[in-house]
């Protein structure tokens, strides 16, 4: 019997060339498909909620695939996790309606970007943080976060190669704060939730917000960058290793 399986995936993207299958390159999609095809004894193709780029991680990527199988979803999850030797884990596996599609049914996504804001780098978990030595003004950065909440054309924060025909997106929430107000005051997290994202949009946004936090631009300059709709006006692209796809929301 053909069934539609929905899986939630956590992965460390450090050693991968992104999510999407590419010729002669190690990708998360290919590794999962190879294992699923072996377990289910049929060719499996999975559809994700969206791509993550090389070096980007995920706590809650969502994908679905159709398979002619009576295998219990829990047993399938355990089988995949036992065979994958790379930093990929299936956190959940369920059978969903045949019409469900991980990408087209998603209503919003939330990304988290982590920053270490102190003079010295860290030895542990350094591959999951953007180390910034100069002090950042969190209040100014949150002011900029407030300016992007709503429906806007984010062309200024879109890298070339985005497959989207429109650069208009709705940001539901955006903020930056210490991970732990009592202890980890130098470890910051930028959280953003929107109905969709352009290529490198989160990394370009935080790269520009950091300029404001470093007092290199003012919040009104940030607003002008948003309004200009020109990528050259915005700040640098933040490195990929600080970015995590936190979760994908469905109605």
State the catalytic residues: 53
Tokens of residue 225, six digits: 């960058």
Strands 2-11 and 88-96, sheet pairing? antiparallel
Say if residues 187 and 116 touch (Cβ distance below 8 Å): yes
Beta bridge mates, 77: none
Say if residues 100 and 114 touch (Cβ distance below 8 Å): no
Closest-CA residue to 5 (of 60, 67, 51): 67
Residues 20, 17: Cα–Cα separation, whole Å: 8
What are the backbone angles phi and psi of residue 213, rounded to the nearest 5°?
-65, -25
Residues 47, 16: Cα–Cα separation, whole Å: 18
């Amino acid at each position: 019997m053909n069934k539609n399986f929905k899986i939630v995936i956590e992965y460390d993207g450090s050693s991968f060339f992104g999510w999407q299958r590419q010729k002669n390159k190690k990708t998360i999609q290919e590794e999962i498909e190879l294992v699923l095809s072996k377990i289910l004894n049929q060719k499996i193709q999975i559809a994700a909620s969206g791509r993550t780029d090389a070096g980007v991680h995920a706590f809650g990527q969502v994908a679905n695939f159709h398979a002619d199988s009576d295998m219990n979803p829990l047993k399938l999850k355990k089988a995949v996790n036992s065979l994958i030797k790379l930093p990929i884990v299936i956190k959940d596996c369920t059978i969903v309606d045949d019409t469900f599609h991980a990408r087209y049914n998603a209503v919003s996504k939330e990304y988290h970007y982590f920053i270490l804001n102190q003079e010295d780098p860290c030895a542990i978990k350094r591959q999951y943080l953007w180390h910034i030595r100069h002090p950042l003004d969190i209040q100014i950065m949150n002011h900029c976060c407030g300016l992007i909440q709503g429906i806007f054309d984010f062309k200024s924060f879109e890298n070339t190669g985005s497959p989207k025909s429109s650069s208009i997106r709705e940001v539901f929430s955006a903020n930056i704060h210490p991970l732990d107000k009592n202890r980890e005051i130098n470890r910051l997290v930028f959280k953003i939730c929107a109905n969709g994202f352009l290529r490198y949009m989160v990394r370009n946004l935080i790269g520009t917000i950091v300029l404001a936090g470093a007092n290199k631009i003012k919040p009104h300059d940030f607003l002008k960058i948003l309004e200009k709709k020109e990528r050259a006006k915005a700040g640098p692209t933040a490195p990929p290793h600080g970015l995590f796809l936190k979760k994908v929301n469905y109605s």
